[in-house]
């Protein structure tokens, strides 16, 4: 698919998605918020919450918040309810998001002879009844806000994976999505829909590429591009679209700043062939990965590839530089002495998006924040892998948080026949010691503290020099 086709499709889909989440439908986070993202493996090994937090880290550098991954792979809504008191409440959240239903609607059960009748009904009825128990618990805690996330879809139409097709699952999951939306409305709780907009993207792109999917590995887990789409939908529903990183205009001939949105422009000097000025933004551009991450669930397609499917750059990452009054010709743009690129005077008069230039000093500053946030995410995953062993194995054995010989014997025994436990055994050997878990948490806290120490925008010298 050529570039123009991709751009047209992105903008078209963006307009369609905007009709779903144009106005604010969920509350934006505020300074000091503690946000617990509760879910299954899509949350546990996923990145959408980390990408959301990265936006707040860069766009609101003076408004610290804390986000917690409270997902466990394989969990259904009953398991989320069962660990609510032990996992969520100790975090003292001010906001809790909840997404569920993928595991509740089963997998290999759809190959049973009675799948179209008994299982199709029983899976949904059971899940709804289990949620009712959780619902009663949530209503006992008015001290924090609840946000429902209508989860990312099960892709039943892609041809990218022939081995993970479960007939009937799509329809059952759709019923649970409808149930969640109705429940949120009945409770007066806000909700954000990931499901239908992502299905729409799949549908449109599969018209020209039947292998396309935002969940290309197994129809279930979004890749990094898919998680970026989810982050986009969440931030848009929070009413944060169209708040620029910065938007400023300088008249080189008159040496005046004619516009300065979310930034300040000072010390303009030079001529209409060589103009310079100081630039201080109130935000940083949103950094996109340049190397594919290899951790978590779903390892196809980079976060940056999500820009093809949603208008994130147009709505959330505009750092617009406009310079009028220049003499005709080509200009070299430097920032703090670093050459950024060359543009024609007509392009500069129309405006260029500095957030697309990865070697500006402010973008490099944002990349360092992204890397620290990724390091934090990696450490947090160790604690989530520990939580999986505790809640999906040891709790059933009456050994929750026992961290003793009986627990280790149980893990060793189960790891021989359960590949998920086996894959987490080495992590559990370390994490069974509270001092190790405390050290991991201290590392995360230190990284977050450093992020909010170094994420403050700095003043940069911009120079435009006529080169021909």
The structure's pTM equals 0.94
Q: What is the pLDDT of residue 217?
A: 86
Distance CA 231, CA 374 (A): 15
Asked if 215 contacts 155 with a C-beta cutoff of 8 angstroms, the reply is: yes
At 292 the pLDDT is 55
What is the dihedral sign for C-alpha 163, 167, 171, 172?
A: negative
Q: What end-to-end distance do the CA atoms of the chain give, in Å?
A: 35
Write down the pLDDT at residue 161.
84
Strands 246-251, 319-324: pairing kind: parallel
Going across the sheet that includes 330-335, the strands are 263-270, 274-281, 460-466, 330-335, 338-344
Domain with CATH 3.40.50.1110 in the chain: 3-237
Listed as ranges, residues in the chain with pLDDT below 70 are: 1-23, 290-300
Which pLDDT belongs to residue 13? Answer: 53
At 1 the pLDDT is 46
Spell out a b/e string for 191-205, using b for 16 or more CB atoms within 10 Å of the CB, else e.
bbbbbebbbbbbebb
125-150 pLDDT, tens digit per residue, is 999 999 999 999 999 999 999 999 99
Specify whether the CB–CB gap between 68 and 36 falls below 8 A.
Answer: yes
CB-neighbour burial class of residue 416 (10 A; exposed 0-12, middle 13-18, buried 19+):
exposed
Calpha distance 162→264 (Å, rounded) = 55
Please tell me the predicted confidence (pLDDT) of residue 8.
44
Domain 3-237 belongs in CATH node 3.90.1530.10 = no
pLDDT of 289: 75
Rounded CA-CA distance 111/315 in Å is 44
Encode the chain in three state secondary structure.
Answer: CCHHHHHHHHHHHHHHHHHHCCCCCCCCCCCCCEEEEEECHHHHCCCHHHHHHHHHHHHCCCCCCEEEEEECCCCCHHHHHHCHHHHHHHHCCCEEEECCCCCCCCCHHHHCCCHHHHHHHHHHHHHHHHHHHHHHHHHCCCCCEEEEEECCCCCCCCCCCCCCCCCCHHHHHHHHHHHHHHHHHHHCCCEEECHHHHHHHHHHHHCCCCCCCCCCCCCCCCCHHHHHHHHHHHHHHCCCCCCCCEEEEEECCCCEEEEEECEEEEEEEECCCEEEEEEEECCCCCCCCCCCCCCCCCCCCCHHHHHHCCCHHHHHCCEEEEEECCCCCEEEEEECCEEEEEEEHHHHHHCEEHHHCCCCHHHHHHHHHHHHHHHHHHHHHHHHHHHHHHHHHHHHHCCCCCCCHHHHHHHHHHHCCCHHHHHHHHHHHHHCCHHHHHHHHHHHHHHHHHHHHHCCCCCEEEEEEECC
């Amino acid at each position: 698919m050529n570039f123009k086709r991709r751009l047209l499709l992105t903008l078209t889909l963006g307009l369609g998605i905007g009709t779903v989440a144009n106005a604010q439908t969920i509350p934006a986070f505020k300074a000091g918020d503690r946000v617990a993202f509760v879910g299954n493996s899509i949350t546990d090994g996923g990145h959408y919450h980390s990408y959301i937090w990265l936006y707040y880290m860069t766009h609101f550098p003076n408004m610290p918040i804390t986000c917690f991954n409270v997902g466990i792979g394989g969990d259904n809504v009953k398991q989320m309810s069962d660990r609510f008191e032990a996992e969520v409440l100790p975090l003292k959240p001010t906001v809790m998001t909840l997404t569920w239903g993928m595991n509740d609607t089963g997998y290999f059960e759809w190959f049973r002879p009675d799948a179209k009748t008994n299982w199709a009904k029983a899976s949904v009825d059971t899940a709804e009844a289990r949620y009712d128990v959780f619902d009663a618990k949530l209503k006992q805690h008015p001290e924090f806000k609840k946000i429902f996330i209508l989860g990312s879809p099960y892709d039943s139409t892609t041809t990218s994976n022939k081995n993970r097709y479960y007939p009937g699952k799509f329809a059952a999951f759709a019923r649970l999505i409808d149930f969640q939306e109705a429940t949120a409305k009945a409770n007066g709780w806000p909700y954000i829909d990931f499901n239908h907009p992502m299905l729409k993207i799949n549908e449109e792109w599969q018209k020209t590429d039947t292998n396309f999917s935002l969940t290309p590995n197994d129809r279930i887990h979004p890749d990094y591009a898919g998680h970026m789409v989810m982050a986009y939908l969440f931030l848009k529903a929070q009413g944060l679209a169209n708040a620029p990183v910065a938007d400023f205009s300088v008249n080189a001939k008159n040496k005046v700043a004619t516009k300065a949105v979310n930034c300040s422009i000072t010390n303009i000097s030079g001529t209409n062939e060589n103009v310079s000025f100081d630039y201080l933004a109130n935000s940083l551009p949103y950094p996109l990965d340049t190397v594919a991450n290899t951790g978590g669930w779903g390892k196809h397609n980079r976060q940056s590839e999500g820009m093809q499917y949603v208008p994130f750059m147009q709505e959330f990452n505009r750092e617009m530089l406009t310079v009028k009054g220049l003499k005709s010709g080509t200009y070299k743009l430097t920032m703090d002495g670093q050459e950024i690129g060359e543009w024609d005077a007509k392009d500069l008069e129309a405006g260029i998006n500095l957030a697309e230039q990865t070697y500006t000093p402010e973008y490099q500053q944002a990349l360092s924040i992204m890397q620290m946030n990724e390091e934090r995410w990696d450490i947090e995953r160790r604690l989530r892998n520990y939580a999986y062993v505790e809640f999906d194995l040891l709790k059933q054995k009456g050994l929750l948080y026992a961290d003793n010989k009986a627990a280790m014997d149980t893990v060793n025994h189960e790891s021989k026949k359960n590949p998920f436990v086996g894959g987490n055994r080495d992590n559990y050997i370390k994490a069974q010691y509270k001092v190790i878990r405390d050290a991991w948490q201290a590392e995360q806290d230190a990284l977050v503290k450093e992020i909010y120490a170094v994420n403050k925008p700095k003043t940069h010298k911009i120079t435009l020099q006529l080169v021909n």
